[in-house]
């Protein structure tokens, strides 16, 4: 624990000394792939090597594709084509689900109307509802007594 505290104290002091010497990090914009203090000729050579590498891989992939095509021709195979979405989204940035069609909206409306018709069967008056609730315990007790009479344990 003490060593951690000592490192923290010394580390903070070193950071303040570095700042006083004029070392500013992140002020200069470096070209891509270039390191600090690197010669421009070296960066140019690195970029050229990267271009050569990419070209080499592109040629290799073309050769492979030719070989694949010859195999497809030989055995009568079809090239796999990536299937696009059947219906592209109107807004590619949309996060939610697709919009409903008019037929789906009509079916949903019919389902809601049927649900409303089912709720119409229930008592709409509060007094009717309270009377039904008050009858429930007596009906429940009667049902329990009927079951207990029929199921006598011996």
DSSP per residue, 36-84:
TT--HHHHHHHHHHHHHHHHHHHHHHHHHHHHHHHHHHHHTPPPP-PPP
Has residue 144 been placed in a domain?
A: no
Has residue 111 been placed in a domain?
A: no
In the chain, the N- to C-terminal Cα span, in Å, equals 75
Task: For residue 114, give both structure tokens.
Answer: 């049927």
Structural domain containing residue 63 = 43-75
What is the structure's pLDDT at 124? 63
Angstrom distance (rounded) from CA 47 to CA 83: 37
The count of residues in the chain is 154
Has residue 71 been placed in a domain?
A: yes
Has residue 131 been placed in a domain?
A: no
Has residue 91 been placed in a domain?
A: no
What is the structure's pLDDT at 30? 53
Look up the pTM and report it: 0.32
What is the structure's pLDDT at 22? 59
Q: Of the candidates 30, 50, 49, which has an alpha carbon nearest to the alpha carbon of residue 40?
A: 30
What is the structure's pLDDT at 57? 97
What is the structure's pLDDT at 76? 92
Has residue 67 been placed in a domain?
A: yes
Q: Which segments in the chain show pLDDT lower than 50? A: 27
Helix (H, G, I), strand (E, B) or coil at 109: helix
Give the total number of structural domains in the chain: 1
Has residue 94 been placed in a domain?
A: no
What is the structure's pLDDT at 59? 97
State the Cα angle at 101 between 97 and 104, rounded to 5°.
95
Has residue 58 been placed in a domain?
A: yes
Angstrom distance (rounded) from CA 139 to CA 131: 12
């Amino acid at each position: 624990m003490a060593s951690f505290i000592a490192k923290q104290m010394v580390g903070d002091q070193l950071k303040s000394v570095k700042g006083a010497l004029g070392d500013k990090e992140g002020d200069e914009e470096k070209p891509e792939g270039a390191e600090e203090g690197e010669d421009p000729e070296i960066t140019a050579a690195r970029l050229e090597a990267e271009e050569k590498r990419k070209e080499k891989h592109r040629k290799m992939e073309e050769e492979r594709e030719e070989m694949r095509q010859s195999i497809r021709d030989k055995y009568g195979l079809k090239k796999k084509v990536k299937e696009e979405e059947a219906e592209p989204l109107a807004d590619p940035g949309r996060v939610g689900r697709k919009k409903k069609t008019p037929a789906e909206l009509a079916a949903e409306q019919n389902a809601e109307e049927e649900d409303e018709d089912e709720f119409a069967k229930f008592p709409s008056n509060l007094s009717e509802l309270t009377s039904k609730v008050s009858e429930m315990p007596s009906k429940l007790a009667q049902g329990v007594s009927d079951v207990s009479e029929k199921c006598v344990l011996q």
